[in-house]
Each structure stands twice: as C-alpha cells, then as structure tokens.
Amino acid sequence: MNLTIFDLDETLINVDSDVEWGRYLIDKNLVDPHEWESKNEKFYWQYKNGQLDINEYLIFSCEPLKNTNLALLKTHRDAFINERIKPNILKKGQQLIEKHRSEGDELLIITATIEFITKPIVSLMGIEQIIAPIPEFLNGGYTGKIVGTPSFREGKLLRLHQWLKKNNKTFDGMTFYSDSHNDLPLLSAVTKPIAVDPDPILLRESKKRNWEVISLR
C-alpha cells in the first residue's frame, strides 16, 4: 500500500486557511483590526519568503482561541468554513483525492495551520487523518500554547515519522503534493514528490531535481 500526503493551503484549496481565518476574525471584530491586519499580513509575507518564525506565529494564531468563548469560536469557525473555505476548495484537488482513494492509497494531510481550523476542513474533503499543530486544551478551554512539534518545514518530516511509529505503519511508497518551498524537507524525503502550482523557489527546485509539476487550478 502507498501513502499519499497532501499539503492543504494553496494546494488543495485556493487560499491559505490560516490567513483567511485571520481576515475573517478582523471582519467580524473578534480581534483588534489594526493590530491583527498588519501582523496577519506580515506573517504571511514571512512564510512566503521562507523567513517565518513558526513559534512566534503560532502564539499569534492561538491567541483568539484563548481569548474567545469556545461556543462562539466554534460557531464562527463553522461560518468561516462555509463562507471562506467551501468556495475555494479546488475541484481538481478533490478529484485527485478521489483518484488516490480509488487506487487504495492511504490518505493524509500535513499542514502548518492549527488543527482547530484545519481538521473540519480536511474532514469536509473526505480525509480523516491529519497532522497539524495542536493547540493545548486544558480545563475546558485553549491555553494559547501548542502541544509538541509544529508541523512546519523540518517539523513536517519529524511529525510524519512520529505518526508512522505511533500507528505502526509502513508503506511501499509515499507521494507528497505541495505548493510551497517550505515543504522541501518532506518533499526531499518521500518516494514521489509532486509540486502543485509551486511558488517560484519550489518551481526552480523542482526543475533542478526533475520533480513532477502539476496544476490544480
């Protein structure tokens, strides 16, 4: 059996779900708009340019989970997915998922966006297995911290190894689809790396290494 791994943001969906969640929170006045808009876009620029401090970013990303009533938070998450994510699920991406499912592959999404946001998105797309940064939840609420290693850059590869060991899984081959040069550590480690609508750095690396390049747009 083969394992097929997908990145989520700007690979299977046409947006970055974490950035869009921040914009949604701003639009709904759930966070300070002046502070959040500048920081949200700054972190996105840093991510795109390979300069993101993931720990600093996750503190920022988890702040609304800590400071917002949990029931209200979940209500807004449902609305966010309906309004901002469903229209941006790529049809060709969904078809690719179903192709690999029909071939008997095990499916997994690995993302750097927190599980609170991404788990219901992934479930909506018909994939139950996800590796994502896990917000700490204690005594009925989120603490603003992350549990374990963030699944970002080399952390994606580490978390994959931990997942394989924990679930006692071995595979004949592994395929990984991603749009981002931040995923080069994992792309370099799998049997079949595939660049999806890649950013300029990943496109350059893909051509250099003769990796397959596809578009789902």
Active site residues: 7, 9
CA distance 51 to 54: 9
Cβ density class 75-109: b for 16+ within 10 Å, e for less = ebbeebbeebbeeebbeebeebbeebeeeebbbbb
Quick one: which of 156, 161, 190 has its CA closest to 173?
Answer: 190
**115 alpha-carbon distance from chain centroid:** 8
**122 alpha-carbon distance from chain centroid:** 9
**31 alpha-carbon distance from chain centroid:** 22
Q: Please count the other Cβ atoms lying within 10 Å of the Cβ belonging to residue 161.
A: 11
| Packing angle of the helix pair 115-124, 70-80 (nearest 10 deg) | 40
